[in-house]
Structure 1
Amino acid sequence: MPNPHAGPWTPALILSLVAAGTILSLSMGLRQSLGLFMEPMVRGTGITVATFGFAMAIQNLAWGIGQPFMGALCDRFGGRIVVVIASALYCAGLYLTATGSHIGLYLGGGLLIGLAVAGTSHGVLVGIVSRLATPAVRATAISILAAVGSLGTFIIAPVAQTAIDGWSWQVSLGGLALLAASMAAVTLLFRRGKAEPPATAPSQQVDARRAIAEALANRTFVITTVAFFACGFQLIFIATHLPNFVGICGLPPSVGAQAIALIGICNAVGTLVAGYLCQRWGNRNVLALIYLLRTASIAVFFALPVSIETTLLFAAAMGFLWLSVVPPVSGLINGLFGPANFGTLFGVMFLSHQVGAFLGAWLGGLSYQWSGSYSIGWISLVIVGTLAALLQLTADGDREPRLQTQ
């Protein structure tokens, strides 16, 4: 247990933040690098672009459906057992993907990796940090976690592309499986402890059903959940299809890897900025601004000729806005309902995100198969993002009354 006189940044919080950041960084880096394997798999197996896109769609849907359950398990039993199970699922999923068969891609790259990411991503890890952090430092801790969690992509994507070029895509997937296994060992750094006693308010008790019922009756929560669909739709389309898109436009595969890596490093900065702005402008306004800026970046990139320079500039802009939604979404949930049931409520909201991700990955592949280009997909991203920004602005201002009373 942390020393109550040690201040808000207790040893338990710091160690758990290091562990959570490392796990999130590995998990997101592994998942966001999978788009690099589309081209070699299409070239070397009977898998098509649409097949690969549908497998990634299954992955994101499995992630979304599994997230409330993984979050609820974390709320009740702690994050260590959840991450260990998810790490094993990650290894199995990458192994099956490396077989190069349709069933291996659907079951491994789709279902198993989707469930694995549900147990090693924000819904679980932000919940762990939220329960250890006092309200005074909670927003800062979450922003740091989300920022650090993007650094794995900066390293893993170019390393994976180097392994594909130097050896084979199967060997590269084997290396990623070893990284996935290491997440289980990192859980040894997790510490128990609570920033405040659970008796501060009845709403702080772990009760998934009651928390979900309360959240679904809250207008701001419902609107944010619906708008969150656009986030998944846009980001997973880009993560899945951008490497193949720039290849079709005549750029070398290394540009796709560089773009994914640049998304990772720029996201670290953007997430910290978003956390700062949330404290000044409010979560609702920051979320709407993120959706608007993302959509504008997509529209400009689609309108301009594709080159190395425009691709990397687009990646930098999208990276700045990539996971910057995590501080405002987390702040909204913690502010309205407290941290006790965070994993469950984030999972419910995130399901909408992953339904969007499913459609973004799948329809991206279908649009290419039907028309021979990604134009339909890019136009869809602009329309959906614009609607999400307008919808988010209709939500009530989030004054976070529950936290102010503590």
Structure 2
Amino acid sequence: MSTTAGDLRSASSLGNWRTPIVIIICGCAIAMLSFGPRSSLGFFIQPMSREFAWGRDVFGLALAVQNLLWGLGQPIAGAIADRFGALRVMCVGALLYAAGLVLMRYAATPLSLNLGAGVLIGFGLSGCSFNLVLSSFSKLLPPERRGLALGAGTAAGSFGQFLFAPFGVAMIDNFGWQTALIVFAALMLLIVPLSLALSTPPVPAASVAASDQQSFKTALAEAFGHRSYVLLVLGFFTCGFQLAFITVHLPAYLVDRGIPAQTGGWVIAAIGLFNIMGSLSVGWLQNVFPKRYILSTIYLVRAVSIIAFISFPITTFSAIAFGAVSGLTWLSTVPPTSALVALMFGTRWFATLYGFAFVSHQVGGFLGVWLGGIVFEKFGSYTPIWWLSVLFGVLSALINLPIVEQPVARPVAQPA
């Protein structure tokens, strides 16, 4: 695997103030801010649906569109960041995110809800979410710091979920859902100054070492012709399906079972809190154990925990326990998945190739949210989607086992 000098650039060469710790702290803050509000949008389903007489399928479709466009926009944002630097991509993403939350606050029709919560927030997330943060970490930090930094960046997103879930519920209960969305929008603007620390330099074609010159099309052809990358992408679908369905529909599912809405907030918060431990642990474990085994274990544990959760009566204790177990495996797939992409193909086109893997994740998220709303409106129950999540978990546990953890073989140029 070849790497460019830019890939290994330390913070000291980027500016005296941008030390590794500053880069990691600012990146974690961005991940926390960007992930927090979108993980709390499920709490807006019931108050908005009551006010506008919408079914859950209406809100489900808007958030499904958000997940899909987040995924589709990710490789585009990643390619722009790889070529022209991450700063402007993150700033534009934060502004789109804030605009989407404002439009969502004033949404009075399904169309305006889809434009705000779906289109603007979806594209906004593709530009300023933890995916771009992890890409910047991979480019700005030396190799020995990347593993822990990737885990920390992922854990920071979970900490945002831990903070914003009860905060969002409290804002809705005390000030109304409209005020909560405006406050969320204002907080997204903080990403703009924070992104200065994660600015990556543009990569002119002339400055790239000859051994590392690889076009966008060549990088894609190499990746999608690589069996292990394809398996990794397919397995990532399940992660998106499960996470999006649970994030959006679990609060309403618990209320349907007689659990107070405040408890739902703490369950989502417990997921975020325990995922901090899960992501940091996996960030360390991937230096000790094969990453494919870690991924298989995560997917299998998710499937077993879902079976246990839906097979017994729902209580406050069982709901929080499910949140804790889910949290340990929540975004824990991200550090080994991103590390495998970097291991296989290097960091030159990392944001792009991880972005395409994330498309699979978000297609799964689109189907998880959308089918959850459709199935509930048709059958009055989420049970079929829970069992579909179990099936996908088992399949992904098997799919990740044959992955080969080594750099892709590339022809070496021979002297004339």
> What's 1:82 paired with?
89
Distance across 1 between alignment mates of 2:337 and 2:330: 13
Distance across 2 between alignment mates of 1:356 and 1:128: 25
What is the CA-CA distance between 1:185 and the residue it aligns to?
Answer: 2.1
Q: State whether structure 2 residue 64 is matched by structure 1 residue 57.
A: yes
What is the CA-CA distance between 1:192 and the residue it aligns to?
Answer: 4.7
Q: Secondary structure at the match of 2:190?
A: helix
Equivalent residue runs for 1:217-228 within 5 Å:
217-228=225-236
**One-letter code aligned to 2:23:** S
> What's 1:337 paired with?
345
Alpha carbon RMSD of aligned pairs, Å? 2.1
User: Residue by residue, what CA displacement relative to the aligned partner does 1:52-73 show, whole Å, maximum 9, x if unpaired?
Assistant: 1111110000001100001111
Distance across 1 between alignment mates of 2:133 and 2:273: 20
Stretches of 4+ moved more than 4 A in 1? Answer: 1-6, 191-194, 198-201
What is the CA-CA distance between 1:42 and the residue it aligns to?
Answer: 1.2
Relative to structure 1, the CA distance from residue 140 to residue 206 in structure 2 (aligned partners, 3 Å threshold; closer, same or farther) is: farther
Corresponding residue to 1:26 among 33, 41, 55: 33
Relative to structure 1, the CA distance from residue 281 to residue 180 in structure 2 (aligned partners, 3 Å threshold; closer, same or farther) is: same
**One-letter code aligned to 1:211:** A
Distance across 2 between alignment mates of 1:131 and 1:394: 28
Cα pair 2:85 2:199 within 8 Å, conserved: no
* Structure 1 stretch displaced more, 385-394 or 304-313: 385-394
User: Residue by residue, what CA displacement relative to the aligned partner does 1:266-317 show, whole Å, maximum 9, x if unpaired?
Assistant: 1111001111221121111111111111111111111111110000000111
Distance across 2 between alignment mates of 1:174 and 1:336: 42
What is the CA-CA distance between 1:206 and the residue it aligns to?
Answer: 6.4
Relative to structure 1, the CA distance from residue 47 to residue 4 in structure 2 (aligned partners, 3 Å threshold; closer, same or farther) is: closer
What is the CA-CA distance between 1:401 and the residue it aligns to?
Answer: 7.4
> Normalization by structure 1: what TM-score?
0.93
> What's 1:14 paired with?
21
**One-letter code aligned to 2:31:** L
Equivalent residue runs for 1:6-405 within 5 Å:
11-101=18-108, 102-192=110-200, 202-203=211-212, 205=213, 207-396=215-404, 398-400=405-407
Q: Which runs of 5+ in 2 are unaligned?
A: 1-5, 410-416
User: Residue by residue, what CA displacement relative to the aligned partner does 1:121-176 show, whole Å, maximum 9, x if unpaired?
Assistant: 23311111101122222212211211122211111111111110011111111111
Distance across 1 between alignment mates of 2:257 and 2:273: 24
Provide the aligned length of Structure 1 versus Structure 2.
395
> Normalization by structure 2: what TM-score?
0.90
**One-letter code aligned to 1:202:** S
Distance across 2 between alignment mates of 1:201 and 1:137: 27
What is the CA-CA distance between 1:339 and the residue it aligns to?
Answer: 1.1
Distance across 1 between alignment mates of 2:217 and 2:263: 46
Distance across 1 between alignment mates of 2:171 and 2:182: 10
Identity of counterpart residues, as a percentage?
A: 38
Distance across 2 between alignment mates of 1:401 and 1:62: 30
Relative to structure 1, the CA distance from residue 372 to residue 4 in structure 2 (aligned partners, 3 Å threshold; closer, same or farther) is: closer
Distance across 1 between alignment mates of 2:100 and 2:10: 41
Q: Secondary structure at the match of 1:47?
A: coil
Q: Secondary structure at the match of 1:279?
A: coil
Distance across 1 between alignment mates of 2:260 and 2:11: 55
Q: Secondary structure at the match of 2:82?
A: helix
Relative to structure 1, the CA distance from residue 306 to residue 139 in structure 2 (aligned partners, 3 Å threshold; closer, same or farther) is: same
What is the CA-CA distance between 1:50 and the residue it aligns to?
Answer: 0.7
Q: Secondary structure at the match of 2:267?
A: helix
**One-letter code aligned to 1:339:** T
What is the CA-CA distance between 1:15 and the residue it aligns to?
Answer: 2.0
Cα pair 1:41 1:100 within 8 Å, conserved: no
Relative to structure 1, the CA distance from residue 361 to residue 303 in structure 2 (aligned partners, 3 Å threshold; closer, same or farther) is: same
* Structure 1 stretch displaced more, 205-214 or 385-394: 205-214
Q: Which runs of 5+ in 1 are unaligned?
A: none
